[in-house]
Structure 1
Amino acid sequence: MSDGKIFIVNQEDVGMRIDVFLSDKIVDMSRSRIQKLIEEEKIIVNDKITKSNYKLRLNDVIKVEIPEPVKLEIQAEDIDIDILYEDDDVVVVNKPQGMVVHPAAGNYTGTLVNALLKKCKSLSGINGVIRPGIVHRIDKDTSGVLVVAKNDLAHQNLAEQIKEHSVNRIYIALTEGVVKEDYGTIDKPIGRHPVLRKKMAVVENGRRAVTHFKVLERFKENTLIQAKLETGRTHQIRVHMASIGHPLVGDPVYGYKKQKYKLQGQALHAKTLGFVHPRTGEYMEFSAELPEYFTDLIEKLRKIT
């Protein structure tokens, strides 16, 4: 049996694209997932089928049918992971570079979710079988701190904090080139690349994305920065830094074609994560040290004059 939601458009939402509107309203559903539901005619406006670029009108009635998740058996796997904190509601982990957060088509093993299913008695079920407990993600080749919800109460609370931009997320990154400014804010909308659909890009009709950065150390041809997310769009730091001419070192998608250093992906680490505990209301903050490959590279760059 599928779940259903109904939305009525008010004045402040008039003119907004329906896929953007619904991705803001339905916390745990991505814009691409909403677009797929529109294609499958699971989302209708005023009892008529619609398109993803439909601009909302006053008093439009939007009906959303959310199908049951596909029943898949995701196996618990005995994979060693670095758990920074755990209680009955949340588990905070330091994800290594190279590990995918959750299973996806063609890749159902070796992920963080597979490891957590072995370590934890329960994970929230809001995101279905494939993504139990997953409130937010970091890329496969990005290392660092991630919080996972162990029940639906925690999941809904954390998802709301992320939506309200109140979660403290600080990253360390190594960029190509020498960044001249000591501090900066990049406020550019991010959406799907108009031609290369697997890439994200700064696009006019994208969702607002804001990254605050400051320089930690400059090298001959690179810069170590701290980046603080105000919003959390897909590949946000990678896209934003590339957009100002300083892509991340090792980035296979947005970086230089010729890479000097043989990395297994972008030099990006989720250093600090702070949030309000969903049950106690206490602010909690966790940090993870840079992985060895990252610190080794920094030491190497310090010796280049």
Structure 2
Amino acid sequence: MEEIKIIVDEIFNNTRIDKVLASSMECKSRSHIQGLIESGNVIVNGKAVKSNYKVKTSDDIVITVPEPSQLDIKAENIDIDIVYEDSDIVIVNKAQGMVVHPAPGNYSGTLVNALLYHCKDLSSINGVIRPGIVHRIDKDTSGLLVVAKNDFAHMKLAEQFKEHSITREYIALVEGTMKTMEGTIDAPLGRHPKDRLKFAIVEHGKRAVTHYKLIENFAREALVLCRLETGRTHQIRVHMASINHPLVGDPVYGFKKQRFKSEGQLLHAKTIGFLHPTKNEYMEFTSDIPEYFEEIIKKLRGN
């Protein structure tokens, strides 16, 4: 049984609690969260609440997540964009809104469910809940991931991630115009001291380095290329927010009021490059930003 504690951030003030938890708990579906609320497993300021309860700033929320009674990860015929595949690896261009791997309360509709259908063999290093998954990107971040089809490939890729030798570039639309052409953010990341579902720059966190370069300034936003030297959870989102350029559409670290309709942060994993685990040759893959992202860019250029 897992207990999660959250203190409500100001950006969520007067928002339904099921919507707040769905935004914060990326690996949990909204229906699962509503089930937790209805079963009395969500306590606000010491009292059980209903799904339509509107949270207040500084509300103290405690969520009890029961252990699953049975683990059954099923293969599902879900369309996914496979960019490349051989006997060792699969490169997938993940859509925004898709969770990478199952978690308690959300065992279907994930990339892993789709991979189990499309690829019969996946590495077993991360167990039955995350087969083949060497790294992940957030649910509402789109773009490229490399997946391991066997344990040897998994170990070789994991070594490169550990050594920070993997090429990873992201396209991000951020709030505010950039006054510098490029820069580096070197700031350690760890769990937020008051909200364990968020990350923050903390003194004793893990080293995190993001290099950024301006692509194009608009009237009130900027298109930026971010290159990861390290790969911490929410790294780009936290780092860009720390220099007053949060990602457009980010419900956790971004502005409360958004000018554009988006299902989440406008962040796309554009490039991934690495040494092939058996061929020992450098391979690099790129993908274009998705259509909804491109449409927003066109609007900004039109203005």
Distance 1:231 1:71 in 2: 35
**Mapping 1:116-135, distance limit 5 Å:** 116-135=115-134
CA distances 1:124-153 after superposition (whole Å, capped 9, x unpaired): 000001000000000000000000000000
- Residue 260 of structure 2 aligns to a residue whose secondary structure is coil
- Residue 158 of structure 1 aligns to a residue whose secondary structure is helix
Instruction: Look up the match of 2:247.
Output: 248
- Residue 84 of structure 2 aligns to a residue whose secondary structure is strand
CA contact (8 A) 1:271 1:290 kept: yes
Distance 1:234 1:127 in 2: 17
- Residue 75 of structure 1 aligns to a residue whose secondary structure is coil
CA distances 1:136-192 after superposition (whole Å, capped 9, x unpaired): 000000000000000000001100100000000000000000111001000000000
Instruction: Tell me the number of residue pairs that the alignment of Structure 1 and Structure 2 aligns.
Output: 235
Deviation at 1:302, TM superposition (A): 0.8
Deviation at 1:71, TM superposition (A): 7.2
**Mapping 1:5-16, distance limit 5 Å:** none
Instruction: Look up the match of 1:221.
Output: 220
Deviation at 1:121, TM superposition (A): 1.5
Matched, 1:170 2:146: no
CA distances 1:181-238 after superposition (whole Å, capped 9, x unpaired): 0010000000000001100001111000000000000000000000000000000000
Instruction: Look up the match of 1:101.
Output: 100
- Residue 93 of structure 1 aligns to a residue whose secondary structure is strand
Deviation at 1:303, TM superposition (A): 1.6
Distance 1:223 1:101 in 2: 28
Unaligned residue ranges in structure 1 (runs of 5+)? 1-69
Instruction: Look up the match of 1:208.
Output: 207
Output the amino acid matched with 2:116.
Answer: L
Instruction: Look up the match of 1:233.
Output: 232
Instruction: Look up the match of 2:143.
Output: 144
CA distances 1:41-73 after superposition (whole Å, capped 9, x unpaired): xxxxxxxxxxxxxxxxxxxxxxxxxxxxx9722
- Residue 302 of structure 1 aligns to a residue whose secondary structure is helix
- Residue 96 of structure 2 aligns to a residue whose secondary structure is coil
Distance 2:302 2:81 in 1: 31
Output the amino acid matched with 1:153.
Answer: F
**Mapping 1:40-189, distance limit 5 Å:** 72-189=71-188
Output the amino acid matched with 2:224.
Answer: I
CA distances 1:63-101 after superposition (whole Å, capped 9, x unpaired): xxxxxxx97221000001000000010000000000000
CA contact (8 A) 1:250 1:267 kept: yes
TM-score by length of 1: 0.76
CA distances 1:100-125 after superposition (whole Å, capped 9, x unpaired): 00000100000000000000111000
Instruction: Look up the match of 2:270.
Output: 271
- Residue 115 of structure 1 aligns to a residue whose secondary structure is helix
Output the amino acid matched with 2:118.
Answer: K
Distance 1:79 1:154 in 2: 24
Instruction: Look up the match of 2:299.
Output: 300
Instruction: Look up the match of 2:26.
Output: none
Instruction: Look up the match of 2:38.
Output: none
Deviation at 1:265, TM superposition (A): 0.1
CA distances 1:16-40 after superposition (whole Å, capped 9, x unpaired): xxxxxxxxxxxxxxxxxxxxxxxxx
Q: What fraction of aligned residue pairs are identical, expressed as a percent?
A: 69
Output the amino acid matched with 1:135.
Answer: V
Deviation at 1:262, TM superposition (A): 1.1
Distance 2:113 2:122 in 1: 11
- Residue 293 of structure 2 aligns to a residue whose secondary structure is helix
CA contact (8 A) 1:176 1:223 kept: yes
Instruction: Look up the match of 1:19.
Output: none
- Residue 297 of structure 2 aligns to a residue whose secondary structure is helix
Instruction: Look up the match of 2:4.
Output: none
Distance 2:228 2:70 in 1: 34
CA contact (8 A) 1:71 1:129 kept: no
Distance 2:129 2:267 in 1: 25
